[in-house]
Chains A and B, each alone.
Chain A
Amino acid sequence: MNERLLQVSGSPHIHSGESVKKIMWSVIIALIPAFLVSIFYFGIPVIILTFVAVASCVVIEYLIQKYLLKGEITIWDGSAIITGLLLAFNLPANLPLWMVVIGAAFAIGIGKMAFGGLGKNLFNPALAARVFLLISFPVQMTTYPIAKPIFHLGADIITGPTPLGILKEGVKNGQPVDSIMHSTQMPDYINMLFGQMGGSFGEVSAIAIAIGAIFLLIRKVITWHIPVSFLLSVFLFAGIFHWVDPTMYANPFFHLLTGGVMLGACFMATDMVTSPISPRGMIVFGLGCGIITMVIRLFGAYPEGVSFAILIMNSLVPLINKGFKPKVFGVAKQK
C-alpha cells in the first residue's frame, strides 16, 4: 500500500455546500426583477444611481478594510453589493449623486464596519443610511419622480408625492379617504401592483419584489416567518382601522402595496444579520415591524414608517433572541 496522508477531523464529514457567498449572490439575483421594473418606469437615472451606490459601498468597504483596519478584504462576499443595491432601492431615482455617496459611506462606515463588519452589525446598514439621508436631506429624499413606462433622461422627470404622501396630506386637510383614493393624482391598484407610482425606485413594484422573494424562499435563503408576519400584521392593523372608520383610514390593500412594505418585508427585514434567529423570534419581529409601520403611517408625522419600524425592531433583536428561544426537545414536559 502506497504512503498517503489522510485527513482527520471531527464529524460531520460532509457539508451542504451552502456558503455565505452563495447566499449573498442569491439575494442579488433576487433583486434583479425589481431592478428591471424600476429601469422600465424611471429610466436611465436608476442605472446611474444604483451603480454609484453599489460602487461607493464596495470602494468604501475596501478602503476601510485596507487602510483603517488593515485586515482581510472581503468585498467579494457580496454583502457590500447588497447594501449598495438595497440603499439605492430605497432612494428616489432623482436624488443628487453626492448624497448617494454620503449615504453609502454612512451605510458601510457607520452601519456596518463600526460594529465590526459583516455579521456584527445591529442595524440594517442600508436602512440606517436611508434614515440618515431622510433626516439630513428631507426635501430631496421626499421628492419622488412619477413613474412612467417609457425611457427618458434624468432632465425631464416629473416629480410628485408618493401615494402615502397624497393620503397623508389629504387626510390632514380633512378630505375623506374615499375621495382621495379617487383623485387623479392617486394611481389605481393595478398600477400599484406593477409599480407605476411615485416612490423610492426599488419599492414600487409589489409583483417584482414578490418574484424575488419567492426565489429566496425556494433557495431557502429566507423563511416565510418574517415576510408573512410583517405583511399580515400590516394588513390586520390597517384592516381593523379601515373597518372601524373607512372615511379616515385607507383600505388595507392600499397599505400593503404602497411605501416600502413589500421591499421591507421581503428584503430588508429578512436580513439575516439583523433579524432574530429562531422562527418564533422571527414572527415576533415581523409582527413588531408591521405594527410600528402602521402606527407611524396612521398617527405619525411621516407618511411612511417601514424604515423606522425595521430599525426599531433591529435594536430589539438581541432581546428577542433572548426571550424567544426555540423549544428544546424534552423540556416542556418537565415544566
Chain B
Amino acid sequence: MPSRSRFVALQFSRLVALLPFLFLGLGEAFAAAGHDHLPQSAEEVAKPFGIPITNSMIMVWVVALGIIILCRLATKKMQLVPSGLQNLVEWLVESLFNFFAGIMGEHLARRSFWFFATSFILILCCNWAGLIPGVGTIGLTAENAPAGDQFRPFFRGANADLNLTMAMSVTFFGLWFYWAFTEIGPKNFFAHIFAPKGDFGKLMLVLMVPLFLFVGVIEVISIAVRPVALMFRLYGNVYAGENMLETLMIMDKVPDYLKWLPALPFYFLELLVGLIQALVFVLLCAVFTKLMCEHHDEDHEESGHAEPDPEPAAGSSAANS
C-alpha cells in the first residue's frame, strides 16, 4: 500500500490527466483508490433504525429518482402533438411496447408491460450509471475495517449486487406464475408441463406418458433454475465488467499518468454490455412468459377471439375446452 502522501499525489495526477475524459463520462479515475479488489457484494454505508443502507441501494434510489423526474417532466403537460421530452419518452414506451408485443402478442404485452419496461429501463440506467465517474470512487474510509478494505464508496453499480438482481428475478417468477395461471388456468399450466404433446394412438399414448412425466420433471427443474440463472447472469456480467475496469486501472506496470488508458476502450464495451444485459434479461423473461401462455393465444386466434380477453377466467375455460 502506498503511503498517504503518495496516495494523494497519485490521485491528483490521475484527476488532472483524466479531466477531459471525466467531462466525457469516460473515466473512473478514482477507482483504484479505495479497494485492492472490488468486493463481490454491496457494502453497507449506513444503518439507520437498524436497516442497512448499501451503496447499491443508494445507486438504485438515485437512478430511480432520475427516471421518475424525467418521466414526470415528460408527462406533466402532455400534448397531442409531442415535442421534446414527451417525444423521447413516448418513443421509448412505444418502441418497448411494440418490441414486447412482437414477442408475446398484444394481449400479454398489455398485461405485463409495466414489469418488462421498468426492468429494462432500470437495468439499463443502472448499468450505464455505474460507468459515471464517482461511482465506486467517492465514499468514506472505515477506520476499523481491515487494511485494503477500508474504503466504502457511496455508489456501486446497482446490478453488481445480487440482492437487486434476485429481487427482479423473484418478482418476475411470482408474476410469471400469476400470468400463466390467469391466462391458461391451473389445469393447462400443469398439462403444459407434464401432458404428452402431439397426437398419439392409445397404445402409443400409454407408452408416452412415463416419458412425458420424466420430461415434465426436467421442465420443473428448468423452471426452478430460471430465476437463479437470470439473477446470476445479470449480476455476473455487470460485476465482471466493473471488476475488469477497476483491475485495468490499477495495473502496476503502467505509469500513473496513463493508468486511465487501458480501461478506456472497455468503457465503450461496457456501454454495449449494459444495453445487451438489460435486453437479455427482459427478452428471456418475455420468452418464458410467452412459452407458458402461448396455448391460450393460439386457442384464441383459432376461435377468432384474438382481441384482449377482459375475463381471464373465461379465457381459461375456453382454453380448457
- Do A and B come together as binding partners? no
Chain B residues packing against A (C-beta within 8 Å)? none
